[in-house]
Structure 1
Amino acid sequence: MNAKLNKVLLVINPVSGDTDKTPIIDMITDSLGKETEYSMYTTTGKEDIDKLRKKVKAFRPDRILVVGGDGTIKLAAQVCHDQNVTIGIIPAGSANGLATDLELPQNHEKALTVAMGDQIKSIDALRIRESIGLHICDMGINAELIKNYSDSAVRGHFGYLVNSIPTLWKTESPYRFSIAANGVKREVDAVMVAFANSKKFGTGALVNPNGKIDDGKFEVLIFKELNFFEVLKTLNGNIDMTSDFVEVIQSTEVRVTTEKPVSFQIDGEFYDDIEEITVTILPDYVAIAT
């Protein structure tokens, strides 16, 4: 533990990963001891940004510990962006994509040691309308899968597998995308266009080998085809990164339009069915303990 951290704010998502967070909270509070003052904020899904911002300003923590998944980390990052507060991550979501990409421990005790430590990494973010993305966002078949998964009672990687079957059966992909980046506009047919600030999906699949979460750039990944067997390989952490399967464009800004609404997700959470989106990089957006 870092004795310099006198005040710690716990941000708890009680429903992420469909797991009881009480044992994790007890472990954290026991580890902090009497020397560290702590407070807790539990997300409700209603006005969390405003409420958490007020909490941070009133409590003035030295560090925020997030107990949840990518959506909860994103919430904390939006609040901490201009507050000069470092975020520590205790992975407790369904996929934990950002924690996986940052190679943070999945064991909660080990994750707490890292989350309270001195090693800090400043990471970029993606600006997407009124929101941000820290990890990987995409339009197309993966967002359709996440939309169906969010409505399903089956969770975890098996839930993604179960929902991939009806998703692939019902999808209207490939879609026609118009992509404008680096002064070039082009039309492509693809099953998915992803905006990657990092290397891996939450399943651990390496989809952006050259991605760096702190280089001031992001990658546009154009997936040309995807079938059930590719979904299986994705869930097992293997994706065919040949040019016949995926094309990569590195940029700081991109605008994508479609002929009809296409599902869109941000960091593993379904956003909406959209026909256009502009994504820009926000360098050095937030500090994470790594």
Structure 2
Amino acid sequence: MKTQKNILLVINPIAGGTDKRPIIKAFKEQVAAQNKESHVYETTGKNDKEAIQELVSSKQPDRILISGGDGTIREVADAIKGVSVTIGLLPSGSANGLATNFDIPEDLDRQLAIALGEEYIDMDLLDINGYTCLHIADLGVNAQLVENYEKSEIRGKLGYLIQAFPTLLNKDFPFKVSIDCDGKIYQEEGILIGIANANKFGTGATINPTGKMDDGIFEVLVFKNFSVKGILETFYDDAHLDPDFVKVIPCKAVKITAEKPIAFQIDGEFMGKKETIHAKMTSDKLRIAIPKSFNH
């Protein structure tokens, strides 16, 4: 890999509701200490994709660091499709699902060391209903939780916990779906239908223990019921989920059809209620800097 000389930081100033000035300061100091040139772009919510593309074209960075949540990462991923560049993660969103899956530490200095390091993965990208998906999308109880969380004023894991109880009492669950996976049809009923490129939710719960993010396939997960034992098992990194609790269907392309509109989310962003979901593995890859200890 060529020596990094020009490094861009894309930062979402409102992600997670925290002050981003310490991140910008540490980034500039680290880059200057390595005799490299730094550039910072703060997202505004308007024409960010085009602005990032213009910066990448004009500055031609050797690496792009991203500070924000999964939505910011997705925006950069869409902006740099077709560009050969490694990205590094400085997670600062409310729920940092992708960073959780890569075991990115909370310490900023360690994050910078990983983000500027030489270990990386060429991660698969999914297309779901025309949107890029980085790690996990789903229909059902978790997506409903995401919607309820977005409407609440309490952020972080406490906000998710508070919303969990009314969500679990929702009369929409369980629900019936037809799953067409690579031409094979399944008729299923469950409380959550996941489309997983990764292993974990941003909360750290392991829902897809055998999934790999660079193997060219994703897994459709049918969570069949509210099982306290099954839910508790998801909090272990070496989880082995009971097949009576979750059914796993490996796919390259899938069409999921529900009997009625059900809450749907992609990478922690509520996308409304949907009856039909189309998902497929794309030919695009996203090169991401990872810890040396990450097992892939």
- Please classify the TM superposition score into its range, dividing by the shorter chain length: over 0.9
1:55-134 to 2 correspondence within 5 Å?
55-134=55-134
Q: 1:26 aligns to what? A: 25
Gaps of 5+ in 1: none
Of all paired residues, the percent bearing the same amino acid is: 41
Tell me the alpha carbon deviations over residues 6-56 of structure 1, each in whole angstroms, 9 at most, x when there is no partner: 111111111222211111111111111172222222122233222222222
Task: Say if 2:11 and 2:66, in contact at 8 Å, map to a contact too.
Answer: yes
Q: 1:193 aligns to what? A: 193
Aligned residues: 288
Paired residue type of 1:53: Q
Q: Give the deviation of 1:132 after TM superposition.
A: 0.7
Q: Give the deviation of 1:170 after TM superposition.
A: 3.0
Paired residue type of 1:211: G
108 and 3 in structure 1: CA distance in 2 versus 1, 3 angstrom threshold = farther
Q: Give the deviation of 1:169 after TM superposition.
A: 2.3
Q: 2:294 aligns to what? A: none
Q: Give the deviation of 1:144 after TM superposition.
A: 0.5
Q: 2:157 aligns to what? A: 157
Matched position secondary structure for 1:170: coil
Paired residue type of 1:154: I
Matched position secondary structure for 1:87: strand
Q: Give the deviation of 1:165 after TM superposition.
A: 1.3
Task: Say if 2:230 and 2:242, in contact at 8 Å, map to a contact too.
Answer: no
C-alpha separation in 1, matches of 2:112 and 2:260: 45
Residue 5 of structure 1 pairs with residue 1 of structure 2: no
Task: Say if 2:234 and 2:241, in contact at 8 Å, map to a contact too.
Answer: no
C-alpha separation in 1, matches of 2:24 and 2:183: 49
Task: Say if 1:145 and 1:163, in contact at 8 Å, map to a contact too.
Answer: yes
- Relative to structure 2, which stretch is displaced further, 230-239 or 163-172? 230-239
Matched position secondary structure for 2:49: helix
Q: 2:266 aligns to what? A: 266
Q: Give the deviation of 1:232 after TM superposition.
A: 7.0
Matched position secondary structure for 2:220: strand
Q: 1:257 aligns to what? A: 257
C-alpha separation in 1, matches of 2:117 and 2:43: 25
158 and 102 in structure 1: CA distance in 2 versus 1, 3 angstrom threshold = same
Using the size of structure 2 for normalisation, the TM-score is: 0.91
Q: Give the deviation of 1:104 after TM superposition.
A: 2.0
- Relative to structure 2, which stretch is displaced further, 182-191 or 108-117? 182-191
Q: Give the deviation of 1:130 after TM superposition.
A: 2.4
Task: Say if 1:91 and 1:108, in contact at 8 Å, map to a contact too.
Answer: no
Paired residue type of 2:210: N
Gaps of 5+ in 2: 291-296
36 and 246 in structure 1: CA distance in 2 versus 1, 3 angstrom threshold = same
Taking only aligned residues, the RMSD between alpha carbons, in angstroms, comes to 2.1
Using the size of structure 1 for normalisation, the TM-score is: 0.93
